[in-house]
Amino acid sequence: MKLQLVKFTIATVLLGVIGYLAAVRYNAAQRKAQPAKTPDWALLGWSEQLLLLVKTEQDTRAVEAQLANFPAADLAAALPNDQAKKVFWINLYNAWYQLLYTREGKRDPEIFTDRAIGVAHRAFSLDDIEHGILRKYRWKYSLGYLENIFASSQIKALAVDTVDFRLHFALNCGAKSCPVIAFYQYQRLEPQLDNATRTFLLAETELDTVNRTVVTSKILSWFRADFGGAQGTKQLIGQVFGLEVSSYSLSFRAYNWDADLRNFAAQETKGLGATPESE
């Protein structure tokens, strides 16, 4: 009797395990079969169009209205992954800095803190975009190490899942030491951000192989946690220059805050705002 009970128990456990593994395989197959979530192409296109109109000095208000009137309940779903979030918010940041500075006459600090950017019936500031959404609600003055405990649920719902240090080489705040302005696109984002990183660091970094020193942009000090601290920064610079610099001393050059507006990268603008289906 005991032997039969043991056999029955073993059989039940095996059946349970087999059923569990089958369910796991089925769910994995279902996830694989489901198409990846795609962004709202019109929304991404408007962010590019806004920046293009700023570059060509045309009236931006019609596109601003489209962005401001986008359904609030649909915004998070319209930007379903980090790739879409980065494209949309980087383009918006770069366009709005120019608008706030030139059209609205705003200056530091209010140019960064005033919630004057209308998106989906909500108002955002440049700081909301950079430190809240793109840097996953980091406290602005914590070097990237601390979360902003006062970040709103709205910002948290829209924020990226993973902070990408390359965004610091894509955002332009109108100063001479800022990276150039480019038009970021969903299908080309990865090589674009890689190129922005390489171009900026090559221009802003000095290596002395005799004295074993690295001097680079203050940006990498202000947001050092985003870059993995001093060692992460040196590893990045070593990759860009093709040198081993982990034992080099690291310092940062003074930031030039002199105004340098409309510093656009040389880039083909044909087809900006087009969806993948229409290209």
Three-state SS sequence of 85-142: HHHHHHHHHHHHHHHHHHCCCCCCCHHHHCCCEEECCEEECHHHHHHHHHCCCECCCC
Partners of 162 in beta bridges: none
- What's the pLDDT tens digit per position in 81-102? 999 999 999 999 999 999 999 9
Q: With a cut of 70, say whether residue 133 has pLDDT above it.
A: yes
- What's the pLDDT tens digit per position in 139-163? 999 999 999 999 999 999 999 999 9
Q: What is the pTM of this model?
A: 0.85
Q: List Cα–Cα distances, 184 to 96, 101, 157, in angstroms.
A: 15, 21, 22
Beta-carbon contacts of residue 231 (< 8 Å; ≥ 6 apart): 246
Q: Do the Cβ atoms of 241 and 205 come closer than 8 Å? A: yes
Confidence at 166, pLDDT banded by 50, 70, 90: very high
Length of the chain: 279
Confidence (pLDDT) at 278: 44
Confidence (pLDDT) at 272: 62
Q: With a cut of 90, say whether residue 103 has pLDDT above it.
A: yes
Average pLDDT taken over every residue of the chain: 88
Q: Do the Cβ atoms of 130 and 116 come closer than 8 Å? A: no
172: left (phi over 0), alpha (psi -120 to 50) or beta: beta
Q: Do the Cβ atoms of 159 and 75 come closer than 8 Å? A: no
Q: With a cut of 60, say whether residue 182 has pLDDT above it.
A: yes
Q: Do the Cβ atoms of 255 and 175 come closer than 8 Å? A: yes
Confidence (pLDDT) at 273: 57
Q: With a cut of 80, say whether residue 28 has pLDDT above it.
A: no
Helix (H) or strand (E) holding 77, with range, is: helix 75-78
- Between CA 43 and CA 86 the distance in angstroms is 13
